[in-house]
Chains A and B, each alone.
Chain A
Amino acid sequence: QVQLVQSGAEVKKPGATVKVSCKASGYAFSDYYMHWVRQAPGQGLEWMGWINPKSGVTVYAQEFKDRVTMTSDTSIRTVYMELRRLRSDDTAVYYCARDMTGDDDFDHWGQGTVVIVSS
């Protein structure tokens, strides 16, 4: 069965960098784009971007473009999301989500990674 397992919770200081991983299993890893979505405490969902794990091509939301990098390592079936220059309002749960068909519908999600940014 498809599984996306994310790395554990992180606590970071403002200005630091966080790197969240998402390890996939149960399907052909390279054939499905992976998106990242975040959710601030008690708030709605915010789309951050996607990566093609095979080619490494990425598309980022403009809001994050200068601070985010998404990468993949096909040898270990893992995608990464790195967010730099963290601010307090980056405190959120970060999810990876598999793109079901290439039409940007997210059929499987990771369990979420809590990132807390606090001095």
Chain B
Amino acid sequence: AIQMTQSPSSLSASVGDRVTITCRASQGIRNDLGWYQQKPGQAPKLLIFAASTLHSGVPSRFSASGSGTDFTLTISSLQPEDFATYFCLQDYSYPFTFGQGTKVEI
């Protein structure tokens, strides 16, 4: 199975900060990667698909890039509602695999 390694596993940031999360795949996955946000007690929400396409309704402060093995999610100006855990998901090959998550804390 393809391993997805996210970094950092957690970070502390303030409102207004620029935050970058990375995800590295153990082998090339083209651009078959999504980013999800999960808040405690809630289901994940889709932010980004196809590595860099913003899902409908997601604020434009979220952006992402990457292809092959290295991917990044950037929040340009952190808002109070963005404190959550973020996961990447590769859907290039079975079994689909998630990164271990990055918890963004105040």
Indicate whether A and B interact.
yes
A residues engaging B (CB < 8 A)? 37, 44-47, 59, 61-63, 95, 97, 100, 103-107, 109-112
Shortest Cβ distance from residue B97 to the other chain A in the assembled complex, whole angstroms:
7
Given contacts A45-B44, A106-B36, A109-B44, 8 further A-B contacts (CB under 8 A): A37-B44, A47-B89, A61-B95, A62-B95, A103-B49, A104-B34, A104-B96, A106-B89
Q: Contact at B43–A107, with CB atoms within 8 Å?
A: no
Given contacts A103-B91, A105-B34, A107-B55, contact A47 B46 (CB under 8 A): no
Q: Contact at A100–B49, with CB atoms within 8 Å?
A: yes
Q: Contact at A46–B98, with CB atoms within 8 Å?
A: yes
When each residue 17-52 of chain B gets 1 if its CB lies under 8 Å from chain A and 0 otherwise, what string results? 000000000000000101010000001111001100
Write out the residue numbers on chain A whose beta carbons fall within 8 Å of the beta carbon of B32.
Answer: 104
Q: Contact at B43–A112, with CB atoms within 8 Å?
A: yes
With both beta carbons as reference points, the residue of chain A lying nearest to B48 in the complex is identified as A105
Given contacts A44-B100, A44-B101, A45-B87, contact A106 B46 (CB under 8 A): yes
Q: Contact at A47–B43, with CB atoms within 8 Å?
A: no
Q: Could you show 26 A-B contacts with beta carbons less than 8 Å apart?
A: A37-B44, A44-B99, A44-B100, A45-B36, A45-B87, A45-B89, A46-B98, A61-B95, A62-B95, A63-B95, A97-B44, A100-B46, A103-B50, A103-B91, A104-B32, A104-B34, A104-B91, A104-B96, A105-B34, A105-B46, A106-B34, A106-B36, A106-B89, A107-B55, A109-B44, A112-B43
Select the residue from A44, A46, A95, A107 with max chain B CB neighbours within 10 A: A44
Write out the residue numbers on chain B whose beta carbons fall within 8 Å of the beta carbon of A37.
Answer: 44
Shortest Cβ distance from residue B27 to the other chain A in the assembled complex, whole angstroms:
17
Write out the residue numbers on chain A whose beta carbons fall within 8 Å of the beta carbon of B89.
Answer: 45, 47, 106
Q: Contact at A111–B94, with CB atoms within 8 Å?
A: no
Q: Contact at A59–B94, with CB atoms within 8 Å?
A: yes
Q: Contact at A111–B43, with CB atoms within 8 Å?
A: yes
